[in-house]
Amino acid sequence: MNGYFLQLALQNLKRHVWLTALIVLAISLGLGSSMTVYSVLRAMSADPIPWKSDRLLTLQIDNFGPQNHRDGQPPVLLSYRDVTAFRRDHRGMRQAGMFEIAVSVTTSAAEAVPVIAFGRATHADFFPMFDVPLLAGRPWSAAEDDARASVVVLGRALAARLFPSGRAVGQTLRVEGRDYRVVGIVGDWEPAPRFYDVGDDGGGAYGQPTSLYMPFDTAVEREVPTNSSITCLTFGLSRSAFLASECVWAQYWLEVASRADVPKIREYLQAYAAEQQRSGRFTWSPFTRVYNVREWLDYMKVAPDQLRVATWVAVGFLVVCLVNAMALMLARASRRAAEYSLRRAMGASRRNLFLQGLWEALLVGALGGAVGLLWTWVGLLALRRLVPEAIEGTTNLQPAVVALTAVLAVAVTVLAGLYPAWRASRTAGALRLKSL
Amino acid sequence: MDFASIFASLRRSALGPVLIGLQVALTLAILLNAAGIVQQHVHRMRSASGVDEANVFTFVNRWVGAPSMERSRSMVSRDLAILRATPGVQAAVCTNGVPLAHRGWGTRVDTRPVDPASQGSLTRAQLYVLDEQGLDALGLRLQQGRWFTTEEAAGAGQSGSGFAILTRALADHLFPDGHALGKLVYTSPRGNLVVGIVDTLQASSPGDPDVSLEVAQYSIVLPGKMAQQALNNYIVRTKPGALQAAMMEAERRLRAADPQRVITEFKTFAETRQDSYRANRALTTILVTVILLLIVVTALGVAGLASYWVVQRQRMIGVRRALGATRLDILAYFHAENLVIVAAGVLLGVGLAITLNTQLVKAGVPRIDNVYLWGGVVAVFLTGQLAVLMPAMRAARVPPALATRSG
């Protein structure tokens, strides 16, 4: 029976080709534009490390005082003295301080022209904490952290560029004019958004991938140039005064064993701030924040509010298209009142006419969905030319979006077709036939 | 026009007109809110930076191997001497940030000494450190007072040598009475005498929708010979027409003087502007596309439904024509019918738009102003009338003889 409905639906589609084309066009445009924008929003609000995002925490403490709040929140980054203290107190299962660095790198061959590598100065726990896969070698050890060892871990691309002949592990590299030993190579690791990089204005959530890692204290001691934004209350400090100052420029991340430990970290941080107030460092009461990965991405507005608004505009457009499709389907159905009467008179049941109407809607939905996917693909392609390279990764057609488009296409058209189909099924046989 | 008969016939087949009216209402609500966002971004993208954009290029220079502060200073002076001697170059400076380039420092500014412990919020502004060539190198327009002297620029450097130049926007914000010149402003406990006011000098990220465009004009310039160890920003202004040639020659000379350097972000200011507003441009393009599609889909919907009505009412039209209605009467009838439906939609749409707007204002969407409101309403009416034109003309061509036929 369904095959017969489909056949009839196809026939009708051909007979009312212009009206059908109009309906398909409206639905596909609505789907295409809303799915294009939603696709970008979805990519930007994705969870980059879902298996432990609720156990990875980053800390904030107000060391600037109430007068220097921005939007009533403590500074985004931390001072060197707080990072050092947190590491000493060692409250998580794993933990690492970090900041973005921009360094000139050459192989030891003296004449080579240096390249700039955007990297990360961090502690040894960075690798196991963020589940960074190593292609070769090993991360450095906590002992090497403490010894301020001259070691680096390279990203795959930079390693291949510097050592085209292969084996980079064990080789020596000149970073900012000093020799470092390569101990490990990071494999494909591309968390998107790059949650650990959104806070410090360095590479950003979608920028250049981190290509070089070195021990935190090695970088601090050797004054390796930071690429993080530095916020100070006073300018013109000497290096030692800078490290002891309230200037903020580093992040601190820690991993707890279970979600139940999160309140403990909150309590610890609050107690730490209270201690700073007692000792006279802060003249204000403790004001601290603990964010997990998802909360952090939300707070940092990785997916901008404006994009959310644009998504709502596009969804609104889809609703308009739905209303439009419904009006046109109704028109198409009314135009065929005579045909319905004839079929009723020939013995088709109301149920049959209703199902017939739904089948037609389904067919239009399938067409609308297919064309809508095409528009989405075109839209994302066009968007790729527009957006900063930094967020190019967000303009891929995701399988989930394809699935959603298909489901929406069918749901939207069936919804729009429901009433016209019902109306058609109410056609009285004899009455309309008289005017034929 | 016989509106009574229009209402009567609309009542008979109510759902179609209701759906069209609903569609018009939603279209208007979306249109009005989206147009506000577009307008806001276009306004940002069109705002002047204050820089002589046609003749300026900028770049970032990094040294290899973290030189000492003294060495860094001497290398910067050498580079500036090279740049200033390059043919076609008008002026050059080394500074801490570049307008629109997302590189720069922020600071707090007040009319009283800045005390970190005191309460109350302070004004935030972009801080530029520039030497005596700064005015010429950026091509700024001095509105009042004077620029820094060579002695002032050679003074204390980053901490401020006791002098400051403000943008007009910041000066008016700090001194609402309009007399900023000769007053003291504070970025630290030490005061800086305001010696000059420039027309405009934008911050490093004026496209950021979280910062109002007004605040993006708040800049303070302190005198100093900027030199940092890690990276330095250079701003170079060339004589008119000499930009491309001077850029190539400057880079060649710099590399010849020191091949072990890394130059990045080597861009004309036009490119900097282009890159700075990419996110704004992406958003406005998305919204404008959706707005246009919205109007097209609504117009097609109106036209589609109207042409169906024409076919459905062919006999009625024929009867009217036979009873003496002219073609113009039939045309007017369909246009008037469209007017009634769209008017109902507009009424609902304006209410919907304003309700939606009061919610969206929290998310940074601007309030709908009257010009846009009326513009949107007129646009929707025109779209409706245009969309119904073709079907109405077909209706007008229906011959009176049709009335006598059945079917």
The per-residue pLDDT for range B162-185, each reduced to its tens digit, is 899 999 999 999 999 888 999 999
Integer Cα distance of A341 and A133 in angstroms: 69
Q: Is A147 helix (H, G, I), strand (E, B) or coil?
A: coil
Integer Cα distance of B311 and B398 in angstroms: 10
Q: Which among B10, B64, B281 is the top mutation candidate for probing chain A, defined by the most A β-carbons within 10 Å of its own β-carbon?
A: B64
The per-residue pLDDT for range B235-268, each reduced to its tens digit, is 999 999 999 999 999 999 999 998 888 898 899 9
Spatial neighbors of A103 by CB under 8 A, at least 6 apart, are A116, A117, A119, A175, A176, A212, A224, A225
Integer Cα distance of A183 and A166 in angstroms: 14
Q: What is the mean pLDDT of residues A262-268?
A: 96
Q: Which residues of A touch B230 (CB under 8 A)?
A: 102, 225-226
The per-residue pLDDT for range B42-92, each reduced to its tens digit, is 999 999 999 999 999 999 998 877 788 888 899 999 999 999 999 999 999
What does the pLDDT read at residue B157?
45
CB atoms within 10 A of CB B214: 9
Given an 8 Å threshold on Cβ–Cβ distance, is A225 in contact with B119?
no
Tell me the ipTM for this assembly. Answer: 0.83
Q: Is B14 helix (H, G, I), strand (E, B) or coil?
A: coil
What does the pLDDT read at residue A389?
58
DSSP A384-418: HHHS-GGGGGGGS--HHHHHHHHHHHHHHHHHHHH
Q: Which among A38, A108, A222, A235 is the top mutation candidate for probing chain B, defined by the most B β-carbons within 10 Å of its own β-carbon?
A: A235
**pLDDT above 50 for A1:** yes
pLDDT band at B158 (very low <50, low <70, confident <90, very high): very low
Integer Cα distance of B14 and B340 in angstroms: 13
Q: Which among A71, A239, A246, A320 is the top mutation candidate for probing chain B, defined by the most B β-carbons within 10 Å of its own β-carbon?
A: A320
pTM value? 0.85
**pLDDT above 50 for A72:** yes
**pLDDT above 70 for B308:** yes
**Closest chain B CA to residue A233:** B116
B residues 245-304 closer than 8 Å to A (CB)? 259-260, 262, 264, 275, 278-279, 281-283, 285-287, 289-290, 293-294, 296-298, 300-301, 304
Q: Please tell me if residue B1 touches chain A, with a CB cutoff of 8 Å.
A: no
Given an 8 Å threshold on Cβ–Cβ distance, is B30 in contact with A233?
no
The pLDDT > 90 percentage for chain A reads 43
Task: Extract the tokens encoding A150.
Answer: 């001259």
